């Protein structure tokens, strides 16, 4: 009889275990106290009790791992979509905004920010801050006594689960005064360097779990890596369009900018072509180092007349271009006079000598003197030639012939 009862109990236990195995990964709290009490009732000895309790503990751990995997799998789609965005755009604003949208889809984000830091710098730069759904102004904080700096120094995640843990430093960035309760500060490590911190915060206690930390790590690495790529591209692009000696835009930028202005249908474009009158003489007499200094002063004069509507370029050698993109208060003649006055006030000092930069200029108007980049440039060049032939240090406007 006793064997029959034991056999029946074993069958009940096996059925219960079978039922639990079928639910693995499907229920968050699979092993409840009620489940443990059930096995306690049917365990016939201390050894059986220890075995069943150990089995339940293992099932609980496996269930948690499977549930975490299931949770992560549900969010891989979001991560995949974000990776697609990162691969298709170099717009930093879009990358930052999308990173916030991705995070807010998978976890509470009453406050959210992304910070960057370069090793050795005294500041941490908060390049993106969302506070209660409102975009806050980017800012910087000293690298020192704050959670962001702590994470960068230690390379460890700071996970504050309730308000009582958040008293060491201010937690929430932004304009609101109320501090958050649950906070995640996650280091973004790329190529073994901490590049920054991504933080999500909630006003609720115990709002985050381990998987949220992992998601923030992935999203943070994607967005900061993409931003670094975008900034590198922008730097290379800028260098490719900039003259190294003078800092002005170069001939490539000139052609691109003028073509774009014409394509956009700007009704009034003035092209001022400028050429040095005596660079060869300066080079021959004082050397090319002084010649470079002469060109720098010439360029600084052009920079002095630049604005949103006036752009300067070093086209080649001692030839410069100025584009007036639309109607401005000064005429081209007035701009030329301003340039001449600048050079008179800023001579090139060569030992005991003062050499005043002298320029000649030719002007062409779109569409009067040309409707393409080449035709407009040719008209300005012909006007410049006439200025040179007429005695230099003069400006001529292209003829309508």
* pLDDT one digit per residue (tens) for the chain, 401 residues: 555 555 556 666 667 667 766 666 566 676 767 777 676 666 666 777 777 777 777 777 776 666 666 666 666 777 778 888 888 888 899 999 999 998 998 889 999 999 999 999 999 999 999 998 899 999 999 998 899 999 999 999 999 988 776 667 777 676 666 788 899 999 999 889 999 999 999 999 989 988 889 889 989 999 999 999 888 888 888 899 999 999 999 999 999 999 999 998 777 899 999 999 989 999 998 899 999 999 999 999 999 999 999 999 999 999 999 999 877 767 899 999 999 999 999 999 887 788 999 999 999 999 999 999 999 999 999 999 999 999 989 999 998 76
Report the alpha-carbon distance of residue 106 to residue 216 in Å, rounded: 10
Give the pLDDT score at 13.
Answer: 64
Q: For residue 177, what are its two tokens?
A: 């005064």
Report the alpha-carbon distance of residue 253 to residue 260 in Å, rounded: 10
Cα dihedral: 330, 331, 335, 336 (round 10)? -160
Give the pLDDT score at 63.
Answer: 66
> What is Dmax (Cα atoms) for the chain?
128
Give the pLDDT score at 153.
Answer: 94
Give the pLDDT score at 377.
Answer: 96
Give the pLDDT score at 55.
Answer: 77
Give the pLDDT score at 52.
Answer: 73
Report the alpha-carbon distance of residue 376 to residue 378 in Å, rounded: 5
**Residue 228 CB: number of other CB atoms within 10 A?**
14
Q: How far, in whole angstroms, is CA 251 from its chain's centroid?
A: 28
pTM over 0.75: no
- Looking at the DSSP assignment, which residues form a beta bridge with residue 207? none
Give the pLDDT score at 169.
Answer: 74
Radius of gyration of the chain (CA): 35
Report the alpha-carbon distance of residue 170 to residue 180 in Å, rounded: 9
Give the pLDDT score at 353.
Answer: 83
Report the alpha-carbon distance of residue 90 to residue 102 in Å, rounded: 18
Residues 6+ apart with CB under 8 A from 92: 127, 227, 230, 231
Q: Return the HEC string of the chain.
A: CHHHHHHHHHHHHHHHHHHHHHCCCCCCCCCCHHHHHHHHHHCCCHHHHHHHHHHHHHHHHHHHHHHHHHHHHHHHHHHHHHHHHHHHCCCHHHHHHHHHHHHHHHCCCCEEEEEECCCCCCEEEEEEEEECCEEECCEEEECCCCHHHHHHHHCCCEEECCHHHCCCCCCCCCCCCCCCCEEEEEEEEECCEEEEEEEEEECCCCCCCHHHHHHHHHHHHHHHHHHHHHHHHHHHHHHHCECCCCCCECHHHHHHHHHHHHHCCCCCEEEEEEEECCHHHHHHHHCHHHHHHHHHHHHHHHHHHCCCCEEEEEEECCEEEEEECCCCCCCHHHHHHHHHHHHHHCCEEECCEEECCCEEEEEEEECCCCCCHHHHHHHHHHHHHHHHHCCCCCEEECCCC
Give the pLDDT score at 9.
Answer: 60
How far is the CA of 393 from the CAs of 52, 62, 264, 295, 341, in angstroms? Answer: 100, 86, 34, 16, 12
Give the pLDDT score at 57.
Answer: 77
Give the pLDDT score at 304.
Answer: 95
């Amino acid at each position: 009889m006793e064997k029959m009862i034991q056999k029946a109990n074993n069958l009940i236990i096996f059925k219960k275990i079978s039922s639990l195995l079928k639910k693995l990964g499907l229920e968050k709290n699979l092993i409840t106290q009620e489940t443990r009490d059930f096995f306690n009732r049917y365990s016939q000895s201390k050894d059986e009790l220890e075995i069943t309790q150990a089995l339940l503990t293992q099932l609980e751990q496996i269930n948690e791992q499977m549930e975490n995997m299931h949770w992560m799998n549900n969010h891989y789609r979001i991560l995949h979509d974000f990776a697609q965005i990162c691969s298709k755009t170099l717009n930093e604003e879009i990358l930052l905004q999308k990173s916030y949208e991705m995070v807010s889809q998978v976890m509470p984000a009453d406050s959210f920010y992304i910070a960057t830091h370069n090793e050795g710098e005294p500041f941490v730069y908060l390049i993106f801050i969302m506070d209660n759904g409102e975009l806050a102004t980017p800012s910087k904080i000293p690298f020192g006594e704050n959670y962001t700096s702590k994470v960068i120094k230690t390379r460890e995640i700071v996970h504050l689960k309730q308000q009582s843990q958040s008293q060491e430093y201010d937690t929430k960035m932004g304009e609101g005064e109320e501090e958050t309760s649950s906070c995640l500060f996650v280091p973004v490590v790329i190529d073994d360097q901490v590049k920054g911190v991504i933080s999500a915060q909630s006003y609720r206690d115990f709002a985050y779990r381990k998987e949220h930390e992992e998601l923030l790590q992935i999203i943070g690495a994607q967005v900061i890596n993409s931003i670094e790529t975008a900034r590198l591209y922008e730097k290379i692009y800028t260098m490719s369009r900039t003259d190294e000696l003078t800092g002005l835009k170069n001939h490539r930028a000139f052609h691109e900018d003028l073509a774009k202005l014409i394509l956009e249908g700007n009704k009034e474009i003035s092209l001022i072509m400028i050429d040095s009158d005596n660079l060869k003489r300066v080079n021959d007499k004082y050397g090319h180092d002084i010649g470079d200094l002469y060109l720098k002063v010439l360029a600084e004069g052009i920079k002095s007349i630049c604005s949103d509507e006036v752009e300067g370029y070093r086209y080649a050698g001692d030839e410069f271009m100025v584009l007036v993109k639309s109607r401005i208060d000064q005429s081209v003649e007035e701009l030329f006079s301003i340039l001449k006055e600048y050079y008179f006030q800023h001579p090139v000092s060569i030992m005991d000598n003062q050499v005043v930069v002298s320029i000649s200029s030719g002007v062409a108007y779109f569409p009067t003197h040309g409707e393409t980049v080449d035709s407009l440039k040719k008209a300005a060049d012909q006007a410049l030639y006439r200025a040179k032939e007429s005695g230099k240090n003069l400006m001529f406007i292209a003829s309508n012939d």
